[in-house]
Amino acid sequence: MNENNAPKEPTHTPTPATTPVDTAPEPATPTPDPATPDPATPAAETPAPAAETPTPEVSTPVTAPAEAAQTESAQTESAQTESAQTESAQTEAAPTEAAPQNPAPVATAETPSTTTPDDKSQNNASQDKKPQDRKPQDRKPQDRKPQDRKPQDRKVRPEKKQPADVPPFGALLTVKVKGIQDGFLMFDAGLSVPAALSLANAGAIANANNNEPPAEGTQMAVVVDRYDESRKFIRVLAKEEEEELTEILGTVRAGDIIEGRVSGLIKGGLEVKFETIRGFMPASHVNTSRMKDISVLLNEVIKCEVIELDRRNKKILVSRKNVQERERKDARKNLILTIKVGDVRKGRIINLTEYGAFVDMGGVHGLLHVSDMRWAPVAKAEEVVSVGDEIEVKVLRVNTERRRVSLGMKQLTPDPWKSVAEKFPVDSVSKFEIVKLAEFGAFAKITDDINGLIPLSEMSWNRRPMKADEVVKVGQEIEAKVIGIDTKRHRLSLSIRQTGDDPWKGVEERFEPGKTVTGKVSRLLDFGAIVELEGGIEGMIHISELDQHRVNKPGDVVTIGGDVETKVLGVDLGKRKISLSRKALLEPVVAATPAVQKKKRTKPLRGGLDAHFDW
């Protein structure tokens, strides 16, 4: 290839495209072949690839005429192809005025690409990034967050197109009847779009025309409702219908209370009719409490509060629950001012809780605590009352600021604690029934409203039981002695062991300190052993008094049920305790002390004496 026709290295500075200049090719090297074409032929215009590298001259054999003709035609075709490519390149580069100022380099077979490996790696890296990892400027418009998108990237909702000559809502129009089309009475209003009245709302016009639609060309007055973009006409209302609607709903506002008749049961609630206007009442607004069957209100005239009012579409949303809540609130304000402490009122149980029951007294709710249901202890409110019960209660406390009322049932009956001391005086013995067990004792039924407590310490003289069920059972009838009554705190104490003689009387004389007694081991504790001396009298041997040597466990020395001989150390009549010792009866053990042997001296003495010399 000729050096002048070789492709030039592209530069980064863009320059306008120029028309390539033809250069004269070098003359071909003559060969001795007579069949070689003349240099003036078109084949000589295209430089041969072999011209770039000089080759040594060799003798070329004479070819046949057919081969020479083929060679000539092949060279002619290649020359024509190359010239055509040159002309197309000139044609593309000719309109320089229409080319952009900064054209981007195009990679072709003759022009190498200007994209460097670094640019490719950056482009690949930006494409490989996830949308959330890309910077806002690297993201595509659909991948950007709404706050990162530019205004031109965001979708703009098309605005509703409405003809400019459409009158506003409520305007009065004089129109002419054109006919009936698709359920609408069409009018000519003299505007760019026609007007239409739904036949369902043309009752007032039909009534004025003997129940028939007006004839074509009839002139009448209508009121503008809205522009129907889908049907391309103006929806209107009959003037008589608008006047009737204004008369019914002209002064009604949201929050007003109106009366209506329940005309039907529809999905999700009730249909309420207010003269000729129909409203809707959701099922959740029928009553303050949930009703299983709302159809019981059909054909009933009820008071409703207007929640929403769409006068334009003649839609009303009403609520009966809000009216009930208003009435209850007003009644509560007035009623709570009339309630006084000590009043007796009737009420209905509406709810039960862990701590009592709530009573509805005609709009005012009061709390009946479990401790005020009966004089006897009550564990749960369900034991006395149930939801829906009609009861009489007495007002105990009233807080008008916080609107709280405390009630009581037991206060309506005489206080049994005022007469219990007369029926069951202290030190009297009677038979009672065990009704409940507790960790600290057992409860016995004194009367229907009073229970007495038997502590664990008052169940037996022999020993204090760990649990009440070791001595008594629920439903068992026992004989007990009344040992205390507290009418203010409503408490009565009983004792089972005091119904018999006290075995501790004269115990100081029978068990004098220093006396040797024999008993039976009844229990073993971590710190000693309990020994039964007589019926109802026990003593304890401390672990340090079991033996003369150190004892780790009392079971290493004595066993339960075994007899043991002990010595009385002391008696505490107030605490009802007797201290015993087994160690005091054992002979003291004298340990023999071994003779101390003198260590022999291993080092020699000074002066030449022997270390083993016995001095």
Q: What is the pLDDT of residues 396-405, one digit of tens each?
A: 998 888 888 9
Question: Residue 163 above 90 pLDDT?
Answer: no
Q: How confident is the model at residue 295 (pLDDT cuts 50, 70, 90)?
A: confident
Q: What is the pLDDT of residues 531-567, one digit of tens each?
A: 988 877 889 999 999 998 899 999 999 999 999 999 9
Share of the chain above pLDDT 90, in %: 18
Q: Which pLDDT belongs to residue 52?
A: 45
**Cα dist. 15→97, 101, 114, 368 in Å?**
12, 8, 14, 99
Handedness of CA 290, 291, 294, 297 (dihedral sign): negative
Phi, psi of 114 (to 5 degrees): -90, 0
Q: What is the pLDDT of residues 319-372, one digit of tens each?
A: 999 898 888 777 777 778 888 898 898 999 999 998 899 998 877 889 999 989
Question: Residue 263 above 50 pLDDT?
Answer: yes
Element of type H or E holding 306: strand 301-310
Mean pLDDT of the chain: 74
Task: Extract long-range pairs of 471-475: CB within 8 Å, 24+ residues apart.
Answer: 471/442, 471/496, 472/434, 472/437, 472/442, 472/496, 473/434, 474/434, 474/435, 474/436, 474/437, 475/433, 475/434
- Between 434 and 251, the more confident residue is 434
- Helix H segments across 94-210? 117-128, 203-208
Q: Which 3 state secondary structure label does DSSP give 254?
A: coil
Q: Which pLDDT belongs to residue 240?
A: 64
Contact 538, 531 (CB under 8 A): yes
Measured in whole angstroms, the distance separating CA 439 from the mean position of its chain's CA atoms is: 41
Whose structure tokens read 């069949």? 35
Nearest to 316 by CA among 329, 303, 325, 307: 307
Mean pLDDT, range 50-79, rounded to an integer: 44
- Between 131 and 400, the more confident residue is 400
Question: Residue 298 above 60 pLDDT?
Answer: yes
Q: How confident is the model at residue 170 (pLDDT cuts 50, 70, 90)?
A: confident
Q: Which pLDDT belongs to residue 84?
A: 47
Tokens describing residue 321? 């629950």
- Amino acid identity, position 224: V
Least confident of 130-144, 249-263, 381-395, 589-603: 130-144
Q: Which pLDDT belongs to residue 46?
A: 41
Tokens describing residue 218? 């009839």
Q: Which pLDDT belongs to residue 206?
A: 57
CA 355/CA 604 separation, integer angstroms = 98
- Helix, strand and coil content of the chain, in percent to the nearest 5, comes to 20, 30, 50
Half-sphere exposure of 400 (CA within 13 A, CB side): 9
- Between 264 and 142, the more confident residue is 264
Question: Residue 382 above 80 pLDDT?
Answer: yes
Residue 543 carries which DSSP code? G
CA 578/CA 596 separation, integer angstroms = 46
Q: Which pLDDT belongs to residue 237?
A: 78
Q: What is the pLDDT of residues 388-429, one digit of tens each?
A: 889 999 999 988 888 889 999 999 988 888 888 888 999 899
**Cα dist. 417→221, 412, 451, 478, 483 in Å?**
88, 14, 11, 22, 16
CA 442/CA 163 separation, integer angstroms = 93
Least confident of 163-172, 354-363, 521-530, 566-575: 163-172
Q: How many CB atoms lie within 10 A of CB 425?
A: 10
pTM: 0.40
Q: What is the pLDDT of residues 200-214, one digit of tens each?
A: 666 556 555 556 778
CA 461/CA 503 separation, integer angstroms = 8
Torsional class of 138: left (φ above 0), alpha (ψ -120 to 50), beta (otherwise): alpha
Question: Residue 93 above 60 pLDDT?
Answer: no
Could you write out the DSSP letters of every residue in 79-120? HHHHHHHHHHHHHHHS--TTS-SSPPP---SSS-----HHHH
Contact 566, 585 (CB under 8 A): yes
Question: Residue 504 above 50 pLDDT?
Answer: yes
Whose structure tokens read 């490996």? 117
Question: Residue 499 above 60 pLDDT?
Answer: yes
Per residue in 34-64, is it b (16+ CB within 10 Å) or e — as a string?
Answer: eebbeeeeebbbbbeeeeeeeeeeeeeeeee
Q: What is the pLDDT of residues 217-259, one digit of tens each?
A: 888 888 888 888 888 899 887 766 666 666 666 667 778 888 8
Q: Which pLDDT belongs to residue 275?
A: 74
Q: What is the pLDDT of residues 477-490, one digit of tens each?
A: 999 999 999 988 88
